Amino acid sequence: MQVSPLCLGAMMFGAWGEPDHDTSIKIIHRALDAGINFIDTADVYSQGESETIVGKALANGRRDDVILATKFHGQMGVAPGQTGGDPNKRGNSRRWIIQEVENSLRRLNTDWIDLYQVHRPDRDTAIDETLSALTDLQRQGKIRAFGSSTFPAHEVVEAQWTARDRGLSPFVTEQPPYSILVRAIEADLLPVTQRYDMGVLPWSPLAGGWLTGRYRKGQEIPASRRAERMPARYDLSDPDNQRKLEAADALAVVAENAGMSLVHMALAFVLQHPAVTAPIIGPRTMEQLETQLGAVDVTLTTDVLDQIDKIVPPGVTLARADRGYVPPALQDPFLRRRRTS
Annotated catalytic residues are 45
What SS3 state is found at 60?
coil
Question: Which residues have CB under 8 Å from 302's CB, separation 6+?
Answer: none
* Residue 217 Cα distances to 140, 179, 205, 223, 228, angstroms: 54, 20, 21, 15, 21
Helix, strand or coil, per DSSP, at residue 13: strand
> 43, exposed or middle or buried, with CB in 10 Å at 0-12, 13-18, 19+?
buried
Residues 6+ apart with CB under 8 A from 313: 183
As a three-state string, the secondary structure of 210-248 is CCCCCCCCCCCCCCCHHHHHCHHHHCCCCHHHHHHHHHH
What are the angstrom distances between the C-alpha of 5 and each of 19, 107, 229, 323, 336?
27, 26, 29, 25, 34
**Cα–chain center distance at 201:** 7
From the list 209, 159, 144, 211, the residue with the least C-alpha distance to 189 is 159
Query: Which are the contacts of 171, defined by CB distance < 8 A and separation ≥ 6?
Result: 118, 131, 146, 147, 148, 151, 156, 159, 160, 163, 198
Closest CA to 269 of 300, 313, 292: 300
Residue 5 gets which letter from DSSP?
S
d(CA 91, CA 100): 10
